Amino acid sequence: MKGKIVITGATSGFGKACAELFAAKGWQLILTGRRNDRLLQLQQQLGSCVEQIIPLDVCNRDEVFKQLGSLKDVDVLLNNAGLALGLEPSWQVNIDDWEVMVDTNIKGLMYCTRALLPSMVKGNSGHIINIGSTAGEWPYPGGNVYGGTKAFVQQFSRNLRADLLGSRVRVTVLAPGMAESEFSNVRFKGDVESAAKVYQGAEALQPVDIAETVYWLVTRPKHVNINAIEMMSIDQAWGPLAVHRDND
């Protein structure tokens, strides 16, 4: 199967790995991201497979609808743009960080989906893949709003499937666990040392692992919808039930 895929957040991490893999498989790519210089580099790297690059902040509703709403014959929308900021407890967190996560992980995903979905429904074909996180299912200290936004991605994907029942438009939420990318650099705002400690002593998922899973999803037979995939490194699992004990 070859087709046309829109990838948000294509300039690094999962998005870049997906762009590289889908280009290698002969797909046509429409790549979006906030960093135009990186988009240009990726376009040069991948050549004629890149149909279009779109410098875009998914938080900008008007620009999303202007740039994506007119696209035609899109087979796959990969809602990959997202981020985590900070790991402080909820009473110490910077409220601006919370708002950026909500704007990007929730509103940005909604805007991109709403912009492209009408043409998919009209054509009775397409696949929306939303990148969630194990944080949407399994809480951890400091996850607070980030985990909340990823729980939204999970439930939003389920409700899209309910709305689309009877059409041939597919919806999947893919929820990776610990994965080694620029994600932690962003979370710790450029503190490379703190970011490196996240993966220290463990073999984390790599962006190519997510890219290969995305490619597998879109190449299932047209009558098959994979509702959700949760994936972790073999070195990651759920923790025991937390209990605070007063030892005085």
Residues acting as catalytic residues: 146
Listed residue (159, 166, 79) closest to 127, CA to CA: 79
Burial (CB count <10 Å: 0-12, 13-18, 19+), residue 190 = exposed
Q: At what angle do helices 13-24 and 207-218 cross, to 10 degrees?
A: 50
Which residue reads 């985990």 in tokens? 147
Distance CA 164, CA 147 (A): 26
Neighbours of 79 (CB within 10 A): 28
Neighbours of 34 (CB within 10 A): 16
Distance CA 213, CA 194 (A): 28
DSSP 8-state assignment for residue 90: T
